[in-house]
Structure 1
Amino acid sequence: MGYVGLLKLLTTVTVIGLLIGTVATASEFKLLVTESCSATRDTFNFECEEQQDEHTLLMVEGNWFGKEKQRNVPLGVLKDNAAILILKNPVLFDGTDTIHIFKETMTFYWVQTAYSTILGRSELTTKRGYVLTIE
């Protein structure tokens, strides 16, 4: 037996666990990227371009996940208060990947830093945009 109900885009739904008889709440959020800027250590001049991209975040029973194709990647919570939510995305490269969501304006900055020992240089990418959800 599976769960009754489906996660629906931009809406909060209730999922009933038939096997364990519990009720859980799941929320789905869309990050709409409108601009991406990047720089390397060589120049460190930010070059920005408009971008139209979407990413999905899920919050299930207080735990955050990034939706990636057919799997959900657990995200760490670095900070969560009335003003800001900062999520840590796990990475396999030498660097960091954090999403900063400003709750009052429902905007975000997604900051990725990386260092390549092979190339001997660092890179910084910042994406910004809006968060959509209906609760």
Structure 2
Amino acid sequence: MIGIDSVAVGDELPPLQAPDVSRLTLALFAGASGDHNPMHVDLDEARSAGLPDVFAHGMLSMAYLGRLITDWVPQERLRTFRVRFAAITPVHARPTCTGRVTDISVVDGERRATVEIVVTLADGTITLSGDAVVGL
């Protein structure tokens, strides 16, 4: 674990291995988030759109990235959190969240770290990428 006082550019956060994306996870996340898009829970609907199966909500992967950051620093230290959705996460995939410190700066007297964050699947597909800024 990177100590807050000793953070340096290039430091990597401990990776977060999310659980396999199951149909149950998708149904529960749909209920929790209010996002009931059938592409996430209805196999027939996904197939009618030309997809082989349902896929995870992008915000589920973003939530895993949020956990990556807040496993490292308390939530109240999070200053910004941005992502770009790059690819879908298929059902049964196992996302891995990683982060690397890319900048250390001082803003309004507060030392801050910018962390590049990424969600990657086992085959190397990057599904989300972005950055977070945290107060140190």
TM-score normalized by the length of structure 2: 0.26
Greater fraction of residues in strand? 1
Greater fraction of residues in helix? 2
TM-score normalized by the length of structure 1: 0.26
